[in-house]
Amino acid sequence: MSEPSHGQRPDFWPDSGLPHTRPDARDWLIPQAPYWGSFLKRPELALVPESCAAETRLHRSLQSNPLLRVNEASLALLADADVRSNYRTFLNFRDAVQASGTLEAFYLSILQGTVNHPPLFIDMLVQTITHHVLRDTTDALQARAAELLFRQQRITLQDGQLLSADAQALEAMQDDGGLGEIGRLLKESQAPMRGAQLRVLNADNAESYWAHTQHRFVLDLSHEMTTTLSHGLTLRLAKARSGLKALSEVLSLWVAHFLGVQLRIEPVATVEDANWRWHTGLDVASSAMLNALYQGKTLPPEEQARLISLFKLRFDDEAVVQDEMVGKPVYLGLAMKTDQTLKLKPQNLLLNLPLKPQA
């Protein structure tokens, strides 16, 4: 049986595992056995020269049959306690996802309670789902903005631009100068290295994004910040076609995929709404900021400087909205932490919207 087709750009995000899933009638993703092979390649599970014979046998057996049932007796044979723990964690996660039927059903099931699975594994699922949501996109800016849903970013102000770079890619380039293992060797020998620059994604280089597999394009989230009336903030977008607009489009598609609700999200120039009723932070930092603003407080300058953007969300069909929110927008916030990192929480949009309870 051949693998299903997943869209026009099957080559982008090749590590997402999307080709190893099958959409169900709801367009949610059923993981196939090979889907779990990418997890076995993670450093936490990959074989190393020090791996014992029992670990080698288990790893090769799982490679051959990723859905193999593994009991505690088999895990007890592994010599390294950390390795035993890693395999137990992976197997528990795999079995929980398989029992849910689809990646989306599992994701929704863990949002209301305590998450007992590694954030890395959750991010891997989010990447797969996001890839599926964007399977027909031809907009590189939209695809790059979607990386914010599952990869930590580092925000930098450079030459008047607010730039979002992949944190892991930036760390790797700082370590090896963008030259891989050769770069690391040159660094260790203190030999001079050619400076490697992360590229800001724009219309001129957008086409090369699709073949770029190392998350090394920078997203421009530029804006201007001033103070204004009402809740004390004005964010003026510097560009009509910005990374913030692309992110808004991705988040709208994300909600539609999970909840079947059509809505529009747009970056806003100002927030001057005396009837502000509902807000949701897209990350931990902005949640606290929006709560303070809602209570009529003014953010100190150092907190204002960490706020990347505000957004306005409106529903296409307000029949799905709680009665008291009909005709009123939902405000969203996006902010970096004090260390200038950003970890977007896409689950917030699924949990914190003013929707009527489903019958």
Contact assessment for residue 217 and residue 144, using Cβ atoms and an 8 Å cutoff:
yes
Does pTM surpass 0.85?
A: yes
**What b-and-e string marks burial along 337-353, b requiring 16 or more CB atoms within 10 Å of the CB?**
eeeeebbbbbbbbbebb
Q: What is the extent of the structural domain holding 273? A: 144-351
| pLDDT tens-digit map of 207-230 | 889 887 678 899 999 865 544 545
Is the pLDDT at 193 greater than 80, yes or no? Answer: no
Do 151 and 129 share a structural domain? no
Provide the pLDDT for residue 237. 54
Q: pLDDT-based confidence at 11, cuts 50/70/90?
A: low
Angle at which helices 167-176 and 180-188 cross, to 10°: 50
Q: Of 76, 98, 133, which marks where a domain is finished? A: 133
Q: Is 92 helix (H, G, I), strand (E, B) or coil?
A: helix
Q: What is the pLDDT of residue 234?
A: 58
107 with 195, same domain? no
Looking at the domain assignment, is residue 276 inside a domain?
Answer: yes
Residue 323 has pLDDT above 80, yes or no: yes
Tally of domains in the chain: 2
